[in-house]
C-alpha cells in the first residue's frame, strides 16, 4: 500500500478533499459499506399495493425477493401519497413478515384449558356444521303475528373494515342467503 493510498484511506482526509465536508456521504464509505445495496435493488419484482392501515389509501410498492416480501415502500406515482408513508405504513413489512403471525389453525374445545391442533379442512367442516345446526335451531319463519321474518338470530358476525370490497361482498351475500341479519362492522364502532 502506497502512502497516497494510505492517506486516502482516511475518511477525515476524504472529508476535507472531496465535497463531503460533514462526512455523511461518500467520504465515510468503507469497502464494506460500498458493497451494500438496498433490498429494493435486488428484488425479483415490485408489486403495486395499497397501505392496509388508515383510509387515506397511500400507494405501496411491495418488493419481493425469493418469494418473500423483503421491503415495502411508498409509491411515488400515487397522487394521494406521492411516495410517503407514515410510521405505521412504513412498518408494513413487519406487519406481513411478523414471526408471531399465526400459521396454523388453533382450536379450543368447550371448557378446554389449552389450544389444540386442527386440520384446516376439518375446521371448515366443523364450522359449516355449527352454522347449519345453529341456523336450524334458531330459525324464525314468522313472528307471533304471522309476519314473515325468514331469518336466524342465532349467530352474528363482526368485521370487515380492513377487508377487501370483494370479501365484504361475499360475506354479506352468504350471510343474507343464510338468513343471518346480525352482521356488523368496524364502521359501527
Partner 1 sequence: MAECHPVGFQWVMEAKKRGATIIHVDPRFTRTSAVADVHVPLRAGSDIAFLGGLIRHVLDNDLWFRDYVIAYTNAPMILREDFRDTEDLDGLFSGFHEDTRHYDPSSWQYEGADVAAAAGQRDQWSTMTADEQIGSRGEKARRASDTDRGEQAGSGGSPFHGTPERDDTLQHPRCVFQVLKRHFARYTPDKVADICGISEAQFLQVADALTSNSGRERTSAFVYAVGWTHHTVGVQYIRSAAILQLLLGNIGRPGGGIMALRGHASIQGSTDIPTLFNILPGYLPMPHAHEHLDLESYISADAGTKGYWGNMDAYAISLLKSWWGDAATAETGYCFDYLPRLTSGHSNYDTVLKQVEGGSEGYFVVGENPAVGTANAKMNRMGLANLKWLVVRDLQMIESATFWQNSPEIESGELRTRDIGTEVFFLPAAAHTEKDGSFTNTQRMLQWHHKAVDPAGDQRSELWFYYHLGRIIRDKLAGSTDPRDRPLLDLTWDYPTTTSPGRPDIAEPDAEAVLAEINGTGPDGPLSSYTELKADGSTRCGCWIYCGAYADGTNQPARRKPGSEQSWVAPEWGWAWPANRRILYNRASADPDGKPWSDRKAYVWWDSEHERWTGHDVPDFQPTKSPTYRPAADAQREDAIGGNEAFIMQADGRAWLHVPAGLTDGPLPAHYEPAESPVPNMLYGQQANPARQVYPHRLNRLSPSGREPGAEIFPYVFTTYRLTEHHTAGGMSRWLPYLSELQPEFFCEVSPALAAERALTHLGWATIITPRGVIEARVLVTERMRPIRVGGRTLHQIGLPYHWGANGLSTGDSANELLPITLDPNVHIQPTKAASCDIRPGRRPTGAARNALVAEYQRRAGITDETGTTAVTGHPGDSRSNGKAGS
Scanning residues 46 to 75, which ones bind partner 1 (CB under 8 A)?
47-60, 62, 64, 67-69, 72
Confirm or reject binding of residue 42 to partner 1 (CB under 8 A).
Answer: no
Q: How far is the CB of 39 from partner 1 (least distance, A)?
A: 14
Of 7, 10, 95, 144, the one binding partner 1 by CB under 8 A: 95
Q: Which stretch binds partner 1 (CB under 8 A): 6-14, 16-24, 33-41, 104-112?
A: 104-112
Confirm or reject binding of residue 16 to partner 1 (CB under 8 A).
Answer: no
Question: Site for partner 1 (CB under 8 A): how many residues?
Answer: 117
Confirm or reject binding of residue 182 to partner 1 (CB under 8 A).
Answer: yes
Of 11, 23, 28, 185, the one binding partner 1 by CB under 8 A: 185
Confirm or reject binding of residue 144 to partner 1 (CB under 8 A).
Answer: no
Q: How far is C-alpha 168 from the chain's CA centre?
A: 17
- CA distances for 120 relative to 39, 115, 123, 128, 176, angstroms: 34, 14, 5, 12, 25
Q: Which stretch binds partner 1 (CB under 8 A): 3-11, 12-20, 21-29, 165-173?
A: 165-173
Nearest to partner 1 of 8, 133 (CB atom): 133
Q: How far apart are CA 123 and CA 130, in angstroms?
A: 10
Confirm or reject binding of residue 165 to partner 1 (CB under 8 A).
Answer: yes
Confirm or reject binding of residue 12 to partner 1 (CB under 8 A).
Answer: no
Of 11, 23, 29, 178, the one binding partner 1 by CB under 8 A: 178
- Cα dihedral: 144, 145, 150, 154 (round 10): -20
81-93: burial string, b at 16+ Cβ within 10 Å, e else: beeebeeebeebb
- CA distances for 157 relative to 65, 70, 104, angstroms: 37, 34, 22
Nearest to partner 1 of 20, 53 (CB atom): 53
**All residues at 6 or more sequence positions from 90 whose CB lies less than 8 Å from its CB, including other chains:** 72
Q: How far is the CB of 44 from partner 1 (least distance, A)?
A: 10
Q: How far is C-alpha 69 from the chain's CA centre?
A: 11
Identify the H or E element spanning 127. helix 120-138
Amino acid at each position: 500500500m502506497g502512502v497516497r493510498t494510505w492517506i486516502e484511506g482516511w475518511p477525515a482526509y476524504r472529508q476535507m478533499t472531496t465535497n463531503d465536508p460533514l462526512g455523511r456521504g461518500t467520504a465515510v464509505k468503507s469497502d464494506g459499506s460500498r458493497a451494500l445495496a438496498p433490498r429494493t435493488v435486488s428484488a425479483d419484482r415490485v408489486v403495486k399495493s395499497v397501505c392496509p392501515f388508515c383510509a387515506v389509501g397511500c400507494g405501496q410498492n411491495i418488493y419481493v425477493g425469493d418469494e418473500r416480501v423483503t421491503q415495502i415502500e411508498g409509491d411515488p406515482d400515487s397522487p394521494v401519497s406521492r411516495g410517503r408513508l407514515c410510521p405505521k405504513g412504513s412498518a408494513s413489512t413487519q406487519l406481513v413478515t411478523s414471526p408471531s403471525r399465526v400459521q396454523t389453525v388453533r382450536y379450543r374445545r368447550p371448557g378446554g384449558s389449552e389450544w389444540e391442533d386442527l386440520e384446516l379442512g376439518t375446521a371448515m367442516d366443523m364450522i359449516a356444521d355449527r352454522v347449519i345446526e345453529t341456523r336450524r335451531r334458531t330459525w324464525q319463519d314468522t313472528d307471533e303475528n304471522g309476519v314473515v321474518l325468514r331469518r336466524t338470530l342465532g349467530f352474528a358476525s363482526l368485521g370487515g373494515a380492513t377487508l377487501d370490497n370483494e370479501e365484504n361482498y361475499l360475506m354479506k351475500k352468504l350471510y343474507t342467503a343464510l338468513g343471518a341479519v346480525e352482521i356488523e362492522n368496524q364502521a359501527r364502532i
